[in-house]
Structure 1
Amino acid sequence: MMSHRAALSFINWSYACFQVQSTDRVSNHAPLHFDLSIFDIFTTIKAGATVILVPPNLSAFAINLADFIEKERISIWYSVPLVLTQLVLRGHLQRHQFHHLRCVLFAGEVFTIKYLRQLMSQIPHAKYYNLYGPTETNVCTYYQLEEIPPEAVDVIPIGKACANTEVLVLNDRGEIADFDEEGELCVRGPSLMTGYWGMPEQTQAVIVPYPKQPSLSMYRTGDRVKQALDGHYFYLGRRDSLIKSRGYRIELGEIETVIGHHPKVEEVAVIPIAHEHTGNEIKAVVVRQAGSQLNERDLLPYCAKHLPKYMIPSIEFQSALPKTSTGKVDRTLLRQQHINSNFNGIKYIPISDN
């Protein structure tokens, strides 16, 4: 349940942070049930700017979407990283100058570094912001990117708290974490949800007392992060993406980052598959770059070079990954597809104990 007050708090912050002007032309790419659309519509209205509705069918044709951005003179773009990745891969961005595009915002999932670097090199005059926040808080941290070093392969920071928000990290002992100590990100402030409609137990599980002042409340995001010495937070993954396999604690996002950096990999999702003996098997579902002949014999040695043996997944190639209505990878459906595939003869490569 998101109140008008919570939405307005985000609107006021984003209006000031990104200096939205009446002359701006702001894309509305997000579905109206997705919280990204609050910025698209209401921050734009606050500025007296113009909302440019992006036809849904353009998302399937990146080259047409690139033409649309240029033709409509869009100055602020906001979407999930997947859309921007498709623009890099298939939008033929070099055909346009995008003189009007001054600000590129992205949120919802991790933006693969190799594609983000390409986007920034092809549209170098724009400012780029990584926005982070679950629906329950809208955006709670942000990070403005500068140049990405060529050797960088890790994820970019999710930045620092927005001006109207406080964030902190709780370690496994329930204490406020030190710098560089992993823990769960917690958020408090006026943009926080009221709760889950008709689900008081679920609400009480995540809306908990604020340690510094128990009369106040905060939201436990379920996201694992750590804070660097410069104050920026780094997203490490979901609590539920930290699994155990053969006795080892494994962060699935780390495997995705490694495989996603391979030059012939377009997309990857790593999922756990329950196994009665090992706890979980790890499966990487990979989409190849167009025209690539990448196969298991190429990718498994690459994984062995960059991952410890116990983190090397089995590999399956697909032509595309299933997506939710908001453009994110549908991991629930992907796992269900695998469960069903065990009965349909789809190849499965088990992990060797050796």
Structure 2
Amino acid sequence: TFAISDTDRLSNHAPFNFDLSVFDIFAAIKTGAAISLVPEGLSAFPVQLSSFIQDQRITVWYSVPMVLTMLTRGKLGERDLSRLRLVLFAGEVFPIKHLRNLRQLLPRPRMANLYGPTETNVCTWYEVGQIPENQTTPIPIGKACANMGVIAIDEAGRRVVAPGEEGLLYARGSNVTQGYYGRPSESAACFISNPFAPGRDERLYCTGDWVTLDEKGDFLLIGRKDHMIKTRGYRVELGEIEAVMVSHPAVNEAVALAIPDEAIGNAIYAIVTIDGSNSVNATELKRHCAEKLPPYMIPEEIEFRDSLPRTGTGKIDRQRLLRERTMAAT
């Protein structure tokens, strides 16, 4: 798909215990390509990072979206990135306004959104074209990779086949792990026999992600099964709230948390970081949400921070934020 060859130089941004590193390492080994290890902590300094890509003559970049969002502030117009031909990202949803900005700053390289949990590595992909100015929804996660298969199954056990239908995404193929070592009960819960292939010894892995299909047959990520909450009797996807908040021009990142509440089931608590060149207060941000979301999805409280904590793999550390909020409430 990406035609990696011995003339390429791949970046390696992910730590070796993060499955993003699998592509960097093994694609390079298979083809004889070179690898440039991105120094730890460099992604926090976008100007130095863009210099690194230029000086190392990187042709294939692969990282989480947060690093690429930072890179847009790295004076890309002053760099010679003519060798950069492919930009890949995975690990979390790429806010559409930041992806549009990256696409405009780097119009030449191919870009692709890669999707897949650790248990399958990458199982779907979507090539990013030009992004319309009026698009506010995230890009699709696409179609299955070669030698892989993905199917969505709805709550009634039927296969999702039409746009608008929703279901949990399952993966099959040679990339799927055999299970969790020493954890048979968890393996049994996550790996099931393919109900659509009776008599064939094929297992499906439940990704835990809710998806739907678009008109082109690409899968669209609705959200994590464990990010679906109930509040005031309604089912809410926290990622939808986050996407709306990030669509505000002043907001860089947003996290929506569900805080258990005896009266309404869960209260929605949001934490955001703000672009230094803009300003917004909680009232204005709630008003922005009210223009795009029903009342029960508007956060009860919004906290502003300079930055959000990260896990070792570069993703937002939601569990830490949830613990901090829970401790503060007690």
Does TM-score exceed 0.5, indicating one fold?
Answer: yes
Task: Give TM-score scaled by structure 2 length.
Answer: 0.97
Distance 1:228 1:296 in 2: 34
Distance 1:220 1:342 in 2: 34
Distance 1:279 1:326 in 2: 31
Counterpart of 1:327?
314
Alignment of 1:12-161 (within 5 A): 17-88=1-72, 90-161=73-144
Question: Does residue 267 of the first structure (1) align with residue 259 of the second (2)?
Answer: no
Distance 1:151 1:251 in 2: 22
Q: Secondary structure at the match of 1:152?
A: coil
- Match 2:281 to one of 270, 276, 295: 295
Distance 1:178 1:40 in 2: 34
Distance 2:138 2:84 in 1: 24
1:175 CA displacement = 1.5
- Structure 2 regions of 5+ residues with no counterpart? none
Name the structure, 1 or 2, with higher relative contact order (CA <8 Å, separation 6+): 1
Q: Secondary structure at the match of 2:41?
A: helix
Q: What percent of counterpart residues are identical?
A: 48
Report the aligned-residue RMSD. Answer: 1.0
Deviations 1:248-273 (A, max 9, x none): 11111111110011110011011100
Distance 1:177 1:137 in 2: 20
Counterpart of 2:204?
218
- Match 1:308 to one of 283, 294, 302: 294
Distance 1:212 1:174 in 2: 10
Q: Secondary structure at the match of 2:308?
A: coil
1:229 CA displacement = 3.0
* Preserved CA contact (<8 Å) 1:25 1:74: yes
Question: Does residue 229 of the first structure (1) align with residue 215 of the second (2)?
Answer: yes
Distance 1:302 1:28 in 2: 38
Distance 2:226 2:161 in 1: 23
Distance 2:314 2:19 in 1: 12
Deviations 1:96-136 (A, max 9, x none): 13101000000000001111111111111100000000000
Count how many residue pairs are aligned between Structure 1 and Structure 2: 326
1:57 CA displacement = 2.2
Counterpart of 1:170?
153
Show structure 1 runs of 4+ deviating over 4 A. none
Counterpart of 2:264?
278
- Structure 1 regions of 5+ residues with no counterpart? 1-16, 344-354
Deviations 1:10-41 (A, max 9, x none): xxxxxxx1100101010000000001101111
Q: Secondary structure at the match of 1:306?
A: coil
